[in-house]
Amino acid sequence: MHNPPFVALGNTLVDHRFVADQIVKGFRDYRVRFAAITGGARERFVQGEWQAVQAASKARILLYKECKAVVLETVRVSAVTSTDWPGIKRCFTIALEGMADAALAGTFYNSIYRASSNEAVPDDLNAFVSSDPELLIEPDSAVTSKYRGTITEIISQVLLECELSPYLANVKFDGEGISTRLRNDIPPLRDSADVSLEMVGVTFYRNKGAYLVGRLEVSGHLFPLSIAFGRVKDGVVVDSVLWGEARLSVIFSFTRSYFMVAVDEPSVIVSYLQTLLPGKKRWELFTSIGFYKHGKTEFFRGFREHLDQSNDLFRISEGIKGQVMMAFTLDSYQTVFKVIKDKFPATKSVTRQQVRAAYQLVKTHDRVGRMADTQEFQFFELPKDRFDPDLLDELSRVASASVNLETDVVIFKHLYTERLMMPLNIYITQCSSFQLEQVLEDYGNAIKELAAVDIFPGDMLLKNFGVTRHGRVIFYDYDEICPLTDINFRKMPVSNNASSVGADPWFEVGEFDVFPEEFATFLFPDEARKAIFSQHHADLFTVEGWTSIQEQVQTNQLTDVYPYPIRDRLR
């Protein structure tokens, strides 16, 4: 199995084992630094260091690129060519022996290969395309602690044994609150004195919250469970207890920042989480715990498998076409594919580089459950016979710089994927009157929560927001976003000159000038919908409403945003 240490390539000698060892070294460095950032999550949470929480989250996302760049410098110096990679892959696989997170290492290897090779689309000879590297050790399956007794007894024990126990302000009060809520919500608990509970042995930290996750068993019924913690002046408290797949699914949503959770074997944690959340795919769960690069790998494999098992065609997405991005979908897969167009209309004063920067900003920013996470791909290959002819025509006409139409395949030189949602402008034409009021209120909530984390959406038209299966409104069009604090909110000047009234402004308007008074007409041509929205969010039509949020952002007053309804809070 061992490759000869040196292979002659013309006048170049390349040591396959040296290159493989450099990739392993780079990956280990990444995991050590990743663990160090993650390991500080508890201290940041209990101390309420919220600015540090945001900085750590961003630093951890950028870490992958930093570690990759170090390895690439060494690999390029080694003058690796395409014929070297089969040997390097063999040596790399041998070097992984005893490594618990070999799957993640395989993704890191793929990143180095893709950046170093001239091959646009990798294959299994050179990279780990169809499967992860073979795991040469038995994974540790003991990811949970198990409890048995009455609900009050086991909840008290969980709180006393969790890593936040030393910081809890009132364990007895919190335990009673959890037990009472669960008895009220889950009828079998009222009659059962014998309950079992298993909890994952690590804490999930994100923003201003922390979570324990597990599963409750009552009279043969299984209930996914999460205990949510918050921080108050006197210490750490239980803020909510959530049960059921639907509630936990929202906590692990694609619209939220990645968790900080200290795990040596992410695959084992992901496998357990899938038993709690069978509606979530593996790639979603890897991404949610911070391993977004391996999430991409899992997505790619899962999607290729889906293509082999389906026969429907890629089509242009429903709804109003974007001016900057072209979007298409596959009806049988809940993903939208987005490509930057070659040219933008004059009304869009952005460049391709600025669009990519906006998407990167969203990746590293606190998404507060209101912005869809995206995955960025280069040289993403799809079978040409699965494309609707109208879509192929549109791609060649408006996105030729990003797409190569080959004989049998379509290769996207650059592409984003995103969870598919129903556009809000379409949803409001199909929903009930009750749903209409709910969704318009949540639309305003989404805008305010984005503003509270210093994001101004720019184009706030309803077509740029989507509605999830849980009825939440999510922003997904990022080409015009900018920091809220950059915006100059102004009142419309009053003119006494009747001749000044017209389509074009008669007064000077700066690049970042925004007039909230115009939002009412601009967003809601329909008076009935405008009235519904105004009942809840009339302040968004005023300068004062926006500047008050700006002041909170400028003074670092981070808003509490919960991944569950306010009614579910225990306090």
Q: Tens of pLDDT along 232-287?
A: 988 999 999 999 999 999 999 999 999 999 998 899 999 999 999 999 999 999 99
Q: Which amino acid is at 103?
A: A
- The pLDDT score that the predictor gives to residue 336 is 97
- The pLDDT score that the predictor gives to residue 503 is 53
CA–CA distance from 512 to each of 347, 457, 482, 569 (Å)?
14, 12, 10, 39
Nearest to 415 by CA among 405, 426, 402, 396: 402
Query: Token pair 């909110």 is at which residue?
Result: 489
- The pLDDT score that the predictor gives to residue 299 is 96
CA distance 154 to 160: 10
Residues counted in the chain: 571
Q: pLDDT tens digit string along 3-32? A: 444 444 333 446 889 999 999 999 999 999
Q: Which two tokens stand for residue 35?
A: 């663990």
For residues 27 and 108, is the Cβ–Cβ distance under 8 A? yes
Residue 531's contacts (CB-CB under 8 Å, 6 or more residues apart) are none
Domain ranges of the chain: 6-116, 144-300, 305-421, 423-566
For residues 400 and 282, is the Cβ–Cβ distance under 8 A? no
Q: Residue 237: what are its φ and ψ, rounded to 5°?
A: -135, 160
Q: Which two tokens stand for residue 21?
A: 């060892």
- The pLDDT score that the predictor gives to residue 241 is 97
For residues 127 and 99, is the Cβ–Cβ distance under 8 A? no
- Residues serving a catalytic function are 373
Counting as low any pLDDT under 50, the low residues of the chain are: 1-13, 500-501
CA–CA distance from 52 to each of 44, 179, 449 (Å)?
7, 34, 20
**Which numeric CATH code is attached to 423-566?**
1.10.510
Q: Tell me the pTM.
A: 0.90
